[in-house]
Structure 1
Amino acid sequence: MPDKHAKPHGKDLRKGRVSLPGQVYHITTITFDRRPVFSDLRSARLLINALREAQACDEATTLAFVVMPDHLHWLLQLEADASLSAVVGAVKAVTAHGLGERIWQSGFHDHALRQEEDLAKLARYIVANPLRAGLVLRVGDYPHWDAVWL
């Protein structure tokens, strides 16, 4: 009998994944061995620029994000003709290439928002991650987040 408490493997995270244009997704992806790669300002800005590039290429519209030292939370709306796996994969590839090393754990977690879910509430939850993690006393003191949907 499978262990219901076991952590899923990267390949298991892809089961049932669907890319729907216009769908809003909450993406979470973690650094390899949970290393605090993004504690470094240059690394964090590189990742943020990769998110902006995905939007500039009309692949995804960023609604909110926070770059934590060892992971990323990204609230995005997928654009037409874009694959969720390809968009997230491109962001991860750009940052890994820019830093010249493996920085990401394989796979990512995605949650497609349902119509009844409160988008603003989720965006506030995402950007408050540094506060809950004890990294800052006020959300505004943390430099690596943005939200257009609060």
Structure 2
Amino acid sequence: MPDYRRYRIPGGCYFFTVNLLERSQNNLLVRHIDNLRKSVQATRKKRPFHIDAWVVLPNHIHCVWTLPPRDIDNTNRWRLIKQSFSKSLPATEKRSTVRLKRGERGIWQRRFWEHLIVDETEYAAHIEYCMINPLKHGLVKRVGDWPYSTFHRDVERGIFPVDWGGSVEVNKAIDQYDDWNEL
């Protein structure tokens, strides 16, 4: 069995990718976006964290979080978010025998992908990756057209211009991120 080691840095900043179990459930997350928002809000009340960036796509999530000082527990935060979201939906999905025995739902992949962000260059690249992802997947023609993203919050704060991701530079950025993902 593989050894899944996670870097634990108190108060660390992390990039996450969290996927649905069946990627063919191609719009579950956006169809139930209010349930997901409530699950995240409830989790943040119990176990606070700062949302640096977040994008919800039809079948997966990318986000960047910063944990509170001295806190290393992102795993239980994800467990709470996934559980709360799953409980908010009727149990209509197919489940394996193993999941049935464990009383698990068949909505999320068990694990998630995480990357500890170690410097400002990585931070900026991962934030931009979150923002540009809907465009990369062909869901919109401009980053600002995707409603399920902290991009809009960051435009209001003056971090991004409203037209960011709407020019030729976007294609270069997409190519750059595709190369980065293959490393």
TM interval, shorter chain, is 0.7 to 0.9
CA contact (8 A) 1:65 1:145 kept: yes
| Structure 1 runs (4+) greater than 4 angstroms displaced | 147-150
Q: Which has the larger radius of gyration?
A: 2
Partner Cα distance (1:50, 1:133) in 2: 25
Partner Cα distance (2:6, 2:72) in 1: 13
Can you give the 5+ residue segments of structure 1 that lack an aligned partner in the other structure? Answer: 1-10
SS in 1 for 2:141: coil
SS in 2 for 1:99: coil
Q: Which moved more, 1:43-52 or 1:120-129?
A: 43-52
CA contact (8 A) 1:59 1:82 kept: no
Give the Å deviation of 1:64. Answer: 0.5
Match status 1:78 vs 2:67: yes
Residue identity opposite 2:142 in structure 1: R
Greater RCO, CA 8 A, separation 6+: 1
Q: How many residues align?
A: 137
Q: Which moved more, 1:17-26 or 1:86-95?
A: 17-26
Match status 1:134 vs 2:124: no
Residue aligning to 2:150 = 146
Candidates 108, 122, 127, aligned match of 1:123? 127
Can you give the 5+ residue segments of structure 2 that lack an aligned partner in the other structure? Answer: 92-104, 160-183
After TM superposition, the score normalised by the length of structure 2 is 0.66
Give the Å deviation of 1:82. Answer: 5.0
C-alpha distance after superposition, 1:96-141 (max 9, x if no partner) = 1111333111111100111253323321211211111111111111
After TM superposition, the score normalised by the length of structure 1 is 0.79
Partner Cα distance (1:45, 1:142) in 2: 16
Identity rate of aligned residues, in percent?
Answer: 27
Candidates 22, 43, 47, aligned match of 1:33? 22
